[in-house]
Each structure stands twice: as C-alpha cells, then as structure tokens.
Amino acid sequence: MDTYYVIKKAKDQITEIIRTKFPDADIEITAPPPELASDFAVPLFKLAKKYGKSPNHIHEEIESIFDKTGTLFDSVFFLAGYINFVLNQMEYFKYLARDALRLKNDFGKSNTGTGQSIVIDYSAPNIAKPFSIGHLRSTIIGQSLYNIFGFLGYAVTGINHLGDWGTQFGKLLYAFDNFRKKNKTEDPTIGELLDLYVLFHKKAEKEPELEDKARDYFMRLEKGDKECRKKWETFCKISLDEFKRVYTYLGGIRFDEYLGESFFFDKGQVILDEILSRRFCIFDSQEKYESFLNENGEIRSFLEKSIQSINISTPVFFLTDKGHTKAAGRISDNEKAAEFKALIDVKIKGQNKVLEKLRNITGDETQAKEILKQFESENIKSTVYWIETTGLTEKASGKISGEAQKKLQSQARCLASTGSFLYTEGDEDSGTETAKQENLLLVDLTDFGIDTPLLLQKKDGTTLYALRDLAAIKYRTDSYNPTQILYVVGSEQSLHFRQIFMVARLLGYETQCHHIDFGLYRFPEGKMSTRKGRIILLENILNEAVEKALEIIKDREIPENEKKEIARIVGIGSIKYTDLSQERRKEIVFDWAKMLNMDGNSAPYLQYTYVRIVSILNKAGTDPFSHSFETEVELTDKEHKLIMSLSRFPEILEAAARTYAPHIISGYLYSLSQDFNNFYNSTSVIRTEEADLRTARLLLCRITSIVIKNGLMLLGIEVPNRM
C-alpha cells in the first residue's frame, strides 16, 4: 500500500531544498501562525548558530538556490527568524486528491509499524464484581491505542488481564459457603457475588478472625481443592459472560486473549527461581561450585579463612556505597548511624582485601567477584540490620540477646544485599519457643532511583501479583516477541509498574514496557469503593447516556427502531469522546451537558458534521471519486485551510501513536469539523454552477467524511447515517 502522503512529500522537499545549501542541517518544520500567509515554517536559529551566520543570512542563501520547478511551492520568505514556504495551492490539492482516490476509506493508514508487534494490556475488570465505571477508562483508551497501532501497520495483540486471583477470592468463597442462603442451588448472579463480598467486609470489621478464615480458603484454592476450584470457575464464567455482554453494548471492544492473573500463578515460580539463581547461584549449580572449589584448593582454603581475617562475626557481603549510606541514613540516632557506617566500612575494607587476593589467584576480576558472591551466599544466616532502637552494638559483636533479637525482628528490616536483590532467608524468631521459617523476598531498586523495594513473596511463602506480572512479561515476550508491551492502568499504579519494569530489565527481558497511565473519573457521589458497595455501574451510565441522547432526537421524523440505534451510537459515543478528548493523565469530571452538546467539542458535534456531509453527497448524486481530479480551480482561503487540515491526518495518527495519546486525534477532529463547517457555511456546494469547482468541493466533502469516520473509528466511536 502506497502511503507516501502529500504532506510528507512537501516536508521532504523542504528538507531537500535546505540541505542543498546546508547538507548536515538539523531541520524542524513547523506550522506558522494562522494569520500568516504561509504553509510551513522552519526556524533558522540553530542553523545560524551552527554556521556562525545570522538567520537572515541563512535565509538569503537558501532563497538564492530556491527553484519552484518540480516542487509543491510557489515562494519562500523570511520573517522573525523563520524561513516560510508558500504552497502552490492547486498542486497541493491535486496531490491530496490523488492520495484520497488511491486509498479511499483507508486514507490515513500507513506502513510505519510493518514488521513490529505490540501487546496491549487493557480493561482488566475483576472477576465476581460488576463492570464499574472505574474500568471504562482502561477499556476505551486501550481499545483506541489498539485501533491506532493496527491502522499504522503494527501487529497488535489485545489482552484482557482479568483480576481472577488473590486473597479476595478466599473472602468470597468463605462468604459464599457461610452467608448465602442454603436453599439456593442456582448459580449466583454477579450482583449477588458483589453483595456477598461487601457483606464479608462488614462482618470482618466486627469479627477480624474472618480474615484468617478467608486466607485459609484462598490457600485451599491455591492448593487445588476441588470444591473451591469448582466454585471459583463458576464465578469466573458468570463474570466473563457478563463482561462480554457489556463490551458488546459498549461497542467496538475486542480482545485477542482473555488471560487472567490465575494463568500466571504457576509460572511465577520460574521467575522466583530465576531471581534466586541470579542472587545465589553464580555458578549454574551447587555441584559446579563445589567442583570448582575442589579443583582449586588454594581458593577454598583462602575463603575459609577470610571471614576471620576481616575480624567480624557476621559474614562479608557486597553493599554499594549508595546502598549502605542510605541504610545508615535511616538510623535517627547519629551515634548509632556512625557505628553502623563504621561496621560497613570495616566489611568493605575486608571485602576488598579478599577480592585482591582472589584476583591474584585467579587472574580474573570478574571470576574473583563471582567466587566471593557465591561464598558469601553460602554463609549468610542473618544480615545487615538497620534500626532506630538499641541492639546495634550487640549485633556487631555477635553477642545479641534473645530480647534484642526479638526487638530487631519486630522493628527492623532484615536485608541480605548482593547486587540489586534483597532477600531474607530463614530468620529465626528467638522470642518464641518454636523457630518460624520466613521466606520474605524483595528486590532492592535503590540504585535505580526507586526507594521502595518490590515485594514478590510474603513471609508465609505466598506470592504476590507483582510476581505474576513479571511472569506475564516473560510469557508475552516469549509468545509474541513484541517491540513494546503497553499497560493501560490508572496512575495510582505508577510505582508498581516502575518496579516490575526495572526488575524485568535486570532479569534480561529486553522488550520495552510502558505504563500508559490515566487519571480517574470524578463524581459528586465521591470515590468508588467495592468493599463498601459504593460503586457506579458502567451499564447504568451507558443507559442514562442513551436515554439523554434519545431525548434530544425524540421529535425527529425517524422510525423508532432507527431512533433507538442512533441514540445508542450518540449516547455511548458521547461518553467515549468525553474521555478520549482529554489528556489521559487528567481526571475526568462527569458532565452530561458537556457530553451531549451538539455545538461544542463533543461526539454529537462530530457525528452531526459527518451526517451533514453524507447528506450533501447523497443529494449531489455523483461520486467525486469516480475519476481523477487534475483540473485547475480557484480556491478560497477557507477551502485551502480545509485542504491543509485534511492533509495533516496521517501525521496526527503518527503523533497519537508515538505519545500514546488518543486525545490528539480528538482535538484534530474537532478542529477539522470546525474548518469544514466554516467552509460549508460560506460556500454553496451542490448549487455550484462551474462543474470543476463543484467536483473540487464535493471532493473536499468526501475526503472530510472519510477522515471524520476513520478518526472516530480509531477512538472506538461509531457514526450514524442520519441524526
């Protein structure tokens, strides 16, 4: 498909003209102010600085070699540091007409993404909860990005990462078994599941022990208990059927895969093993490490003596300067902070002595470091404690009391640090009769500008959703080999995604991952809460939008069935457009009057403009695409402005994809519709007597209708044929 659009041709010609005189020029082509009789402008300040000349002198040199022959331009002129290029308007329009005639309804498409694939994770509603307005933004922003990238030639995979796993299902299963009426044998509705979930939390406020019972239920589910599993699968099926019904009503929503969090439950262990192998297993296996030491007796002997030579009882381990300084900074007592720092300094000095000796033995610094890391991992039983209470001196001398140990465990974070990973391994609770094994796993990201460690596994060995998100990155990378993975999730999850993306990079996953964050909806009713049952159901909002749209067109002479369909298209389109017309990081204030305004920046305004154009083309009775347009006509300023707006459509789509910003398309479509209506209100199209001029104007109508329809389609918004 040939997608070399006229606007690209014009900019390429500008670049070629300037580089004829300045071959290595860095050229920025901009749109001049609307009041200026110019079509493209290039600032000359950087060029002037680079070549040691004034901007006017640069312009004079470019103008001296400018020849309009074979170009789209008539002239150039200099103003306020810019060189301005003025188009041959008819030549530009003829090229635009050729583009439209060649591509017809595909106008705007490109091959930019050919050979590249993108995975988009969006919508992701929670199983056993009705589809609330809270998931609408992810759904329509994600679907719009899916549409945009697909239109630009990318291979796109849309994934609905359902929230179908976690401790909340322990709560629901407990509530289902204990709070549901025993005589109910039919499958529950999704509304009933929500009621049970809310009831559990109300009861748990007065009976905290219910939380432990819920954890037991979830543990049974994790271990594959048949009864729990069967009920959970029922909950999932009921929920997914409901979600698909809502997606159909919403219109234009599609997914290539429905893969919930549960799909990655058993795959998380692979990630854990990989992290732990990078933390502990410098050699591929313990056997290889032991074999290496057996073959290198001098190294084994030296390592066994190295701890005593450092003169501290706790083992040596790697700490970056930034890491241990930051740890010391968390101790409020200056004296204890200094003591902690001195202890670390001793360790680092000793560590450097060990490394120096190992370098001499092996002749290889990298191998020396790996050997020491492996040795230290064998000996770590307890690790650095940074605290704000007493006990540090006792810990440093290895004479810590049981009481101090108990205090440390309750008030300190116990971290064993090697490279970037933090791990607490089997710390014993000396304050109890029976030692309790703990398996807390965190990843320290301090050196990468993230102060909060990523928690992957709780002390009881239960894994968290962060681990399953890492497993999902691995699965998607292996399955689709994508250029990018996009996560369309609210801004409140920014820290989480910064953490998992960084850990993914540390694990060697090279796929670019991006968090496409967005703000929330704001309602007079306040913040939504599933636990308290205070949620706004999406279907209720959609129904209200359709009813309000129906009220607007109720007096039109249109059959009732068609009127209802138009109301659905306009009402639901108004909700989508209100969202997608704003920069996604902003909060959305729900305003019905603004949403359904037929004259302002709204879906109904754009839809009505499209309907108006369809009516014009139907009345004309001829297809302006039936033959090529190569004649000369005189264009008005409003017509030329509309031509320039239409030619920008391919670049608008590229910009929206590059910045993951559907609102760029919305803003463009509103501006284009204004340009068209200004043209239409000042010009007679159908009654134009001169045949060539009439054809030219009908061409403008036809191309505008295609651009509005395609642009709205990319936003997931349908267009009616009449309103």
Residues 93 and 25 in one domain: no
Domain membership of residue 230 (yes or no) is yes
The mean predicted confidence, pLDDT, of the chain is 81
Average pLDDT over residues 500-519: 92
Q: Are 62 and 21 in contact (CB under 8 A)?
A: yes
Q: What is the pLDDT of residue 633?
A: 94
Domain membership of residue 160 (yes or no) is yes
Assigned token pair, 396: 């440093």
Q: Are 215 and 239 in contact (CB under 8 A)?
A: no
In angstroms, what CA-CA distances link 272 with 276, 277, 481, 513, 672?
6, 8, 22, 20, 53
d(C-alpha 401, C-alpha 431), whole Å: 10
Where do we find the tokens 């004649």? Answer: 631
d(C-alpha 57, C-alpha 98), whole Å: 38
Q: What is the pLDDT of residue 306?
A: 46
pLDDT in tens, 287-313: 555 565 566 665 556 555 543 433 333
Domain membership of residue 238 (yes or no) is yes
Domain membership of residue 448 (yes or no) is no
Residues 317 and 349 in one domain: yes
> DSSP code of 585?
T
Question: Which one has a higher pLDDT value, 34 or 366?
Answer: 34
> DSSP code of 30?
B
**What dihedral angle (degrees, nearest 10) is formed by the CA atoms of 184, 186, 187, 190?**
-60
Pairing of strands 484-488, 117-121: parallel
Domain membership of residue 12 (yes or no) is yes
pLDDT band at 378 (very low <50, low <70, confident <90, very high): very low
CATH code at 259? 3.40.50.620
pLDDT in tens, 408-457: 333 332 222 222 233 333 333 333 322 233 456 777 777 678 888 788 87
pLDDT in tens, 66-96: 999 999 999 999 999 999 999 999 999 999 9
d(C-alpha 450, C-alpha 447), whole Å: 7
Q: Which residues fall within 8 angstroms of residue 66, CB to CB, at 6 or more apart? A: 17, 76
Pairing of strands 521-522, 413-418: unpaired
Pairing of strands 421-423, 441-443: antiparallel
Assigned token pair, 39: 């079509």
Residues 530 and 541 in one domain: no
Assigned token pair, 641: 């402005």
Domain span including residue 709: 89-115+537-723
Domain membership of residue 443 (yes or no) is no
Lowest mean pLDDT among 280-294, 491-505, 661-675: 280-294
Q: What is the pLDDT of residue 83?
A: 96
What is the identity of the amino acid at 254? R
CATH code at 602? 1.10.730.10
Q: What is the pLDDT of residue 384?
A: 29
Residues 395 and 324 in one domain: yes
pLDDT band at 1 (very low <50, low <70, confident <90, very high): confident
d(C-alpha 60, C-alpha 159), whole Å: 55
Where helices occur in 450-558 by DSSP H, the ranges are 465-480, 494-506, 538-553
Q: What is the pLDDT of residue 460?
A: 67
Residues 611 and 495 in one domain: no
Residues 328 and 257 in one domain: no
In angstroms, what CA-CA distances link 89 with 10, 632, 645, 673?
12, 10, 13, 21
CA angle 719, 250, 613 (to 5 degrees): 5
Q: Three-state SS for 418?
A: strand
d(C-alpha 282, C-alpha 290), whole Å: 12
Residues 577 and 723 in one domain: yes
Residues 242 and 305 in one domain: no
d(C-alpha 465, C-alpha 471), whole Å: 10
Residues 522 and 666 in one domain: no
Residues 581 and 708 in one domain: yes
CATH code at 60? 3.30.1360.70
Domain membership of residue 438 (yes or no) is no
Residues 716 and 605 in one domain: yes
Number of domains in the chain: 4
713 HSE (CA, 13 A, CB side): 17
pLDDT in tens, 7-39: 999 999 999 999 999 999 999 999 999 889 999
Where do we find the tokens 């056997």? Answer: 287
d(C-alpha 428, C-alpha 408), whole Å: 11
Q: Could you tell me which residues are beta bridge partners of residue 13?
A: none
Domain membership of residue 447 (yes or no) is no
pLDDT in tens, 241-290: 999 999 999 999 999 999 999 999 889 888 887 776 654 323 334 455 55
Residues 336 and 217 in one domain: no
Residue of 182, 172, 261 whose CA lies nearest to 218:
172
Residue of 251, 242, 252 whose CA lies nearest to 131:
242
CA angle 554, 557, 560 (to 5 degrees): 60
> DSSP code of 316?
P
Q: What is the pLDDT of residue 413?
A: 29
pLDDT band at 597 (very low <50, low <70, confident <90, very high): confident
